[in-house]
Homo-oligomer: A and B are copies of this chain.
Amino acid sequence: MKKILRVDMANLTVGTEDVSHEYAGLGGRALSSTIVSKEVPPTCDPIGSHNKLIIAPGLLSGTGAPCSGRLSIGAKSPLTGGIKESNVGGTASPKLAALGIAAMVVEGQPPDDKFYVLRISNDTYSLEEAGDLAGLGNYDACERLHQRLKGKLSIICIGQAGEMRLAGASVAVTDMEGLPNRHAGRGGMGAFMGSKGLKAIVIDDSGPRVVHPEKKQEFARTAREFSKDLREGTGFLEQLRTCGTPGGIPNFNAFGTLPTRNFSAGCFEHADKIQGAAIVEIAKSRGAKMHGCTPTCPIRCSIVYHDKAHKFLVGGVEYETVALLGSNLLIHDIDAICRMNRLLNDCGLDTIETGAALGVAMEADYIKFGDSESAIELIEEVAQGTIRGRMIGSGAVVTGKMLGVKRVPAVKGQAVPAHIPQSNKIVGVTYCTSPMGADHTAGVTYDDTIHKPEGKVEKSRAVQIQMGFIDSLGLCMFSRACPGYNDYVSTLMAALYGTPYSEADLTELGKRVLRTEREFNVRAGFTAAHDRLPEFMTEIKIKPHDLAFDVPYEEVDRFYDEI
């Protein structure tokens, strides 16, 4: 029987309960969004005591299924004011699942201003004062925790940005090397974890645990075949394997979807210098290898990067980070981009939100486009808590307000990621309609029609539904590049439960997620008026294809008619 862990920060107690009827059969995003919808008052203060932090492994997490190690972190977002599920890799999801934990629900706020560490060790749970961990960056905090608490630890933690409750703050999860390289970046979940007084969650699952599917052999066989196809896949999968997620840069640059100079263009003259192949080449020359972000990954698209002295700098150099901190700022020095990435991972800030905030600051001429040194200095100030640092850490919208900037790339208060909607109109519809605000992981796809406005609502709807079940099962969004994907996934689910599970069930799960989230947002005060891109994205045509977002909003407003 799976259980829900209730962490009461007001009384500093931890309890467990059986998964109730209304939460049964749900996992990942479906569970986190359902709990938020049922238990969080939609109009509550996002950093107040009524909001709840939900941490839920996907339904397939812990089963050993390929790419099944994703974790959902949910709450009412401090950044958007709407519902949020922020999805992250690392080692925590399979461990929580293996411990039988369907979800952790962190409630209330501590009576003092102290920070705490939650320890989960098999069946024992404890809350301890964070002591000297408070004020540390993620890397130092995790290092000290590893030193003090031996074992196969997985750590979920926040840096100084989360402690300061900055709206751009992320939640870090340690990877297979034990380092806090994976981040639930979007939506300010770190700020909210900070508002709960929770510095870190340490999970120790020493002992041979695993989630056992009902039909073991069928599950294992399907998982093996699925894994093989992912590992040996060509095209996009091969590109991921060899060049990581920044491997897409040449294509995005050609499509005109690479954010450049604060989203004022979709192509970058130095795109070749920041593309995946170039990064991997430098990384390899310094002795670093690519790795997987979760134990079950056969793709292994995460680029580890060392500095010029061949010392570890950062793990998981991702496309979004490279684009937002690179082309978006007219910076093409990979070492500088990775230095920023490291600093942001350390203080615990979303690289997308912060990259967009820096772009806005450059638009205001507060620092110059291309000036990586000033950008690095500004990021360094976040951990110090200066007002300059806090501005950047509060995200693109706050930075734009303070600097009086009109070109602020954000929807529902959240910065637009690195697939720009002027040129990819499918993701443009996603940015408008997703309950998450501008979030490519809510539903991005590419085909040769992306430049045209016709039929984009249907395509966005299809991929958003797909992401709804992918995020609920704990699968990586890239796994869907595998041929026969829905068959593999429904077969795995059927074998897991020992009951029929069809592609239609997956679709219904995805729709249910979107309905639940939309309904919460409606109660929180969102209307069609919020399903809009910033004005400049519809009014100013940009290079290289002279495009603006032009899907009619009347069509966009029919998105939920068929959910």
Contact = CB atoms under 8 A, between A and B. Distances in A.
Interface of A: 42-45, 47-48, 50, 164-167, 191, 194-195, 387-388, 390-391, 394, 398, 401-404, 406, 523-530, 532, 534-535
A359 B101 CA distance: 43
Nearest to A527: B525
Taken together, the copies of this chain in the complex come to: 2
Contacts of A401: 166-167, 394, 398
A529 B521 CA distance: 10
Contacts of A194: 404
Contacts of A42: 529
Contact of A526 (B390, B525, B528): B525
Given A164-B404, A388-B387, A524 B529 contact: yes
Given A48-B406, A391-B402, 19 more contacts: A44-B535, A45-B534, A45-B535, A47-B406, A195-B404, A387-B391, A387-B402, A390-B403, A398-B398, A398-B401, A398-B402, A523-B529, A524-B529, A525-B525, A525-B527, A525-B528, A525-B529, A525-B530, A527-B527
A552 to B, nearest CB: 14
A-B CB proximity, top 3 nearest: A525-B529, A165-B404, A390-B402
A191 B523 CA distance: 31
Contacts of A45: 406, 534-535
A474 to B, nearest CB: 31
Contacts of A50: 535
A529 B527 CA distance: 11
B406 A402 contact: no
A43 B534 CA distance: 10
14 contacts: A45-B406, A45-B534, A45-B535, A47-B406, A48-B535, A166-B401, A167-B401, A191-B404, A194-B404, A387-B388, A390-B403, A391-B391, A525-B528, A527-B527
A525 B166 CA distance: 26
A188 B380 CA distance: 32
Contacts of A43: 529, 532
A406 to B, nearest CB: 6
Given A524-B529, A527-B525, A529-B42, A394 B387 contact: no
Nearest to A194: B404
Given A524-B529, A527-B525, A529-B523, A47 B387 contact: no
